[in-house]
Each structure stands twice: as C-alpha cells, then as structure tokens.
C-alpha cells in the first residue's frame, strides 16, 4: 500500500533522534511515551511546523516541495493547547479550516455537529471552557477534510462522553481512507488502535500492533511501571 505520511531519520536537536516511520491510508495510529519523550515534537515535525533534519513525505512527495496552500488541504494538525487570542465566534473559527479551499465552506456545519458545537456556534471562542475550546480545534481540523490528521492529546481535556465521541470519529475517518495519528497517555486506549508508536527520550523504541508492542517488558522499561494484564470492560458509545 502507498504511504500517506513517512519520515526518514527525522531529528530535532535535543528532542528527537533519527525517527523513521511510515503511515498508510486508512490507518489509526497511537503515539505514546512518557512526558518529555518527544511526542509533540514528532507530530509538529511531521506537520512541517518545526525545522528538522531528515526527510518527511506526504503521499510520496517531499514536504519541502509542497506549496503552503496545498499543505492545508492535505494535512490538519491539532495541538495540545487550544489558545485563541481573539473573540471570534465558534463558527468562524471552525470555518478557518476551509481557508486553503478559498471561499468554500463545505463541511463546516457537519464539523460543528460532529463535535457537538452547534449550540455554541455563535459564542465567542474566548468564552468557552478548555474542553470546549479543544473541541473547536478538532472541528476546525475536521472541516479541512484533509486526509492526514495529526492530533496531539485530543482527549486530555474532554469529559468521558466527548472523549469517546472523538475516538469514534477518528475510527470513522480511517474507515473512509484517512490516516489519523493520535498522541495519548492512556495505554489502555492505545490497544484499540491499528498500530502504536512508542517514543522514549526522543527515540522510536516501538512500532507495530498494540498487543505485540505494548508488552509488560516494554511498559516497564519505558514507563517505569509494572504492568499486569487483565480482562476489562471498555466503555462504548451507543450508535446514534
């Protein structure tokens, strides 16, 4: 299968060390690691937001050769923090995801509905809670309709229901052919992804199917905790 997003010997001084990876279309990938492991750095470097050594390709094309407007149509990034300096209405902020498409607002209403923001569409984004602002950032990324989505800890500030909805949304996107990379701290949630990448001190130390990579040995070595595997019930959202 052709590559959607790949990196070769990607490095950021003092933060990331020669990371190589290859993500395919229709794949939901978890990125895990301790605090300070380099997860946010890797996501930003893959998105072209940080200067880095090595090479990044989107759909087989070298990132440095992709025009800025075209980048906005191919990839969407959601950072850990949702900071908004101006009191724009939520609808207008989400519509910013369509800037790379000119005046086309296709998908904005659907993105608002998907992230449970229709009732907040006219509210200034600066008057939202942290979790609500984060959902606005996700809705803006969704509105781009970009086939590559990079989400940095998208559920860390969300309540249980909205966190489950975001994970279900990610699954629907990859079922439609998109590639979604999600950083998270919940190792239990990572087992439900197609693949998991494990970073430790800037190095990629695990890459594969969750049950093959997230072993008790690796968890002990990377996270410095003893893991015991038990059968458990994972909460599911009922289908609408």
pLDDT of residue 231: 60
Is 90 exceeded by the pLDDT of residue 127?
yes
Q: Considering the chain, what is the average pLDDT of its residues?
A: 92
Supply 129's token pair.
Answer: 């809670």
pLDDT of residue 234: 52
**Best CA proximity match to 39, nearest among 202, 224, 205, 207:** 202
Residue 116 included in any domain: no
pLDDT of residue 47: 97
Residue 104 included in any domain: no
Strand partners, 69: none
In contact, 82 and 152? CB cutoff 8 Å: no
Helix (H), strand (E) counts: the chain = 9, 10
Domain hosting 186: range is 5-83+147-168+176-223
Residue 233 included in any domain: no
Residue 183 included in any domain: yes
Residue 63 included in any domain: yes
pLDDT of residue 223: 95
- pLDDT (mean) for 116-132: 95
Residue 123 included in any domain: no
CA dist., res. 9 & res. 70, Å (int): 24
Counting Cβ atoms within 10 Å, is residue 3 exposed (0-12), middle (13-18) or buried (19+)?
Answer: middle
What's 36-69 look like in SS3? CCCHHHHHHHHCCCCCCEEEEEECCEEHHHCCHH
Render pLDDT for 80-100 as a digit per residue (tens, 0 to 9): 887 788 899 999 999 999 988
Q: What is the pTM of this model?
A: 0.92
Render pLDDT for 136-190 as a digit per residue (tens, 0 to 9): 999 999 999 999 999 999 998 899 999 999 999 999 999 999 999 999 999 999 9
Is 90 exceeded by the pLDDT of residue 195?
yes
Render pLDDT for 3-25 as a digit per residue (tens, 0 to 9): 999 999 999 999 999 999 999 99
Residue 37 included in any domain: yes
Write the CA distances from 233 to 20, 102, 169, 189, integer angstroms: 35, 46, 20, 12
Is 70 exceeded by the pLDDT of residue 214?
yes
- pLDDT (mean) for 194-220: 96
Supply 161's token pair.
Answer: 């229901």
- Domain of 185, CATH number, reads 3.40.50.300
Percent of the chain scored above 70 by pLDDT? 95
Residue 115 included in any domain: no
Count up the domains in the chain and report the number.
Answer: 1
Instruction: Look up tokens 């602002």; give the residue.
Output: 133
The one-character DSSP state at 118 is: G
């Amino acid at each position: 299968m052709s590559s959607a997003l790949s990196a070769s010997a990607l490095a950021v001084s003092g933060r990331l060390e020669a990371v190589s990876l290859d993500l395919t279309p229709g794949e939901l990938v978890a990125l895990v690691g301790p605090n300070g492991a380099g997860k946010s750095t890797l996501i930003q470097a893959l998105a072209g937001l940080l200067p880095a050594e090595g090479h990044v390709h989107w759909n087989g094309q070298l990132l440095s050769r992709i025009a800025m407007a075209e980048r906005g149509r191919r990839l969407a990034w959601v950072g850990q923090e949702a900071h908004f300096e101006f009191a724009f209405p939520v609808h207008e902020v989400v519509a910013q995801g369509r800037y790379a498409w000119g005046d086309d607002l296709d998908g904005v209403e659907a993105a608002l509905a998907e992230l449970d923001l229709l009732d907040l569409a006219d509210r200034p984004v600066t008057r939202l809670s942290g979790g609500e602002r984060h959902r606005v950032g996700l809705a803006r990324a969704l509105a781009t309709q970009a086939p590559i989505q990079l989400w940095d800890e998208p559920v860390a500030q969300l309540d249980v229901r909205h966190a489950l909805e975001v994970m279900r949304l990610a699954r629907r996107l990859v079922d439609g052919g998109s590639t979604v990379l999600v950083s998270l701290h919940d190792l239990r949630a990572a087992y439900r992804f197609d693949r998991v990448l494990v970073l430790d001190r800037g190095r990629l130390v695990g890459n594969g199917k969750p049950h093959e990579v997230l072993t008790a040995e690796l968890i002990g070595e990377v996270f410095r905790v003893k893991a015991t595997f038990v059968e458990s019930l994972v909460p599911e959202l009922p289908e609408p």
